[in-house]
Amino acid sequence: MAAAASRADHCRRRLDDSERQLEETDRTLRAAEGRLAAAREERVRAETAAEQAEATLVTIEGQTNERFSLPPERLAELVGEVNEPTTGDLATAEKQLERMKRERDLIGPVNLRAEEELAELEGESGRLDGEREDLLQAIAKLRQGVGQLDKEARARLLAAFDEIDRHFQQLFRRLFGGGHAHLSLMDADDPMAIGLEVMASPPGKKLQHLSLLSGGEQTLTALALRFAIFLAKQTPICVLDEVDAPLDDANVDRMCTLLDDLAAAGTRFLVITHHRLTMARMHRLFGVTMAEKGVSQLVSVDLVDHNGLRSVG
């Protein structure tokens, strides 16, 4: 279950990275599309200027043929052989020249590489479109993977929760000699992101939250829950550190009986305790004594074989 959750987190991080990369690609694509639009506009302007120049040339050729019955090239040769033009002809030519300059200025500068730039931008735009499609497919796969991991983790969590709750109810009744308790999820719709509530009803008391129980009752309830988790996934060794401190002798006896049953199934318990009854129920005791001032010594007592006391180390 922890591995599935870790894989889900890893996929979420990959999904976030892919989404950020997609946003960066979208920005680059929009910039390329802007440059592509400008290049297309430049090409249109160049084509318009070329068409206008070609139309002007055709008009001049037509006028030359109509008025002089000569092609423009031959007329230019003849004009070069004529004397200097008159003042009136020169003024007319200057006006026509000024008009043509104004028309040229209206056309604006012509980018001779517009067609090449357009082809480059179209290629870049196609490449970015391909990258964007790849990112979208990767994001879709990641989302599908995250969804499957979440589904698997949720199923495993609910199965483990049901098993632990079943053990918890049995152990609670055993440790308390009756009563009732159960576990509940604070939000069943999303078990992966919510907390756990422990409701308990010791013998003779109403069902209430764990925090409302006495110190000893809270300890027994916590032990029932801890051993319920332990039964759901047992380990060879279990360490308990002074869990019997708040308990009276009767409850300590119940706890030790439960430990005996669990130990019979193959688990070894290491219990740190100062309670005399707990020490009396153990198989072997280890302690520290000071035979001489300032000198500590580890001793062990085997309570099963011969109740003998011997030094260790």
CB-hemisphere CA count at 13 Å for 310?
A: 9
| Residue 251 domain flag | no
pLDDT tens digits, one per residue of 8-43? 677 777 777 777 887 888 888 888 788 888 878 888
**Which range (31-35, 100-104, 306-310) has the least confidence?**
306-310
Distance CA 92, CA 97 (A): 9
Domain-located, residue 310: no
Q: How far apart are CA 170 and CA 224, in angstroms?
A: 8
Which pLDDT tens digit goes with each residue over 136-177? Answer: 898 988 888 888 888 888 888 888 889 999 999 999 999 898
Q: Is the pLDDT of residue 249 over 80?
A: yes
Whole-number Å distance between alpha carbons of 225 and 202: 14
Separation CA 104–CA 98 (nearest Å):
10
Containing structural domain, residue 8: 2-153
Looking from the CA of 222 toward its CB, the CA atoms found within 13 Å total 14
Confidence band, pLDDT 50/70/90 cuts, at residue 72: low
What average pLDDT is seen over the chain? 80
The phi and psi torsions of 135 (rounded to 5 degrees) equal: -65, -40
In angstroms, the CA 217 to CA 238 distance is: 22
| Dihedral sign of CA atoms 65, 69, 74, 80 in order | negative
Question: How many domains in the chain?
Answer: 1
Here the CATH number for the domain that contains residue 129 is 1.10.287
- The model scores a pTM over 0.75: no
Answer yes or no: is 301 within a domain.
no
Q: What was the pLDDT predicted at 188?
A: 63
Confidence of residue 256 (pLDDT cuts 50, 70, 90): very high
Q: From the DSSP assignment, how many helices (H) and strands (E) are in the chain?
A: 7, 8
Residue 177 lies inside a defined structural domain of this protein: no
Host H or E run for residue 42: helix 2-68
pLDDT category at 306 given cuts 50, 70, 90 is low
- pLDDT tens column, 229-243: 888 888 889 899 998
Per-residue pLDDT reduced to its tens digit, 264-280: 888 899 999 999 999 98
